[in-house]
């Protein structure tokens, strides 16, 4: 009969200490630095499209090529801008957020803030 030692579990992280750490504060600052301006930019762009569609019928119905008008082009650009913002966020997160988040995760898994 063999005896196995029970697995020792690392101590639980001190979440309050991690949250108040300089690294966590920096991570939140970096996230907000991207998310807030990009959200405002996209909402302004979307609101401009809605207002143009509602109040600038002549402009929006201007034909560009065949039956393709300005409204259709701007509407499709809404989708393009959504994908562009997603790609920009992924690139930003990979460069600025993920390295710091990985460091914080390692600290948490080790059982506390350094």
Give residue-wise pLDDT tens across range 52-108.
Answer: 999 999 999 999 999 999 999 999 999 999 999 999 999 999 999 999 999 998 888
* More confident site: 103 or 110: 103
Q: Tell me what pLDDT residue 10 has.
A: 63
102 token code pair:
């990985």
Report the share of the chain in percent with pLDDT over 90: 72
Q: Are strands 68-69 and 63-65 parallel, antiparallel or unpaired?
A: antiparallel
Task: State if pTM tops 0.85.
Answer: no
CB 99 within 8 A of CB 23: no
- pLDDT of the residue at 112: 52
Three-state SS for 64? strand
The pLDDT assigned to 111 comes to 66
Q: What is the mean pLDDT of residues 11-22?
A: 82
How far is CA 77 from each of CA 2, 21, 22, 45, 85, rounded to the nearest angstrom?
67, 41, 39, 10, 12
Instruction: Please determine, for residue 30, whether its predicted confidence score (pLDDT) is greater than 70.
Output: yes
More confident position, 42 or 17: 42
pLDDT higher than threshold 70 for residue 29: yes
């Amino acid at each position: 009969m063999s005896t196995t030692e029970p697995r020792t579990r690392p101590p639980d992280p001190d979440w309050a200490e991690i949250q108040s750490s300089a690294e966590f504060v920096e991570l939140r600052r970096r996230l907000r630095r991207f998310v807030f301006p990009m959200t405002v930019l996209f909402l302004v762009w979307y609101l401009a499209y809605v207002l143009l569609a509602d109040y600038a019928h002549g402009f929006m119905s201007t034909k560009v090529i065949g039956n393709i008008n300005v409204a259709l082009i701007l509407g499709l650009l809404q989708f393009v801008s959504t994908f562009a913002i997603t790609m920009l966020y992924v690139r930003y997160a990979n460069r600025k957020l993920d390295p710091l988040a990985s460091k914080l995760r390692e600290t948490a898994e080790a059982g506390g803030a350094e």
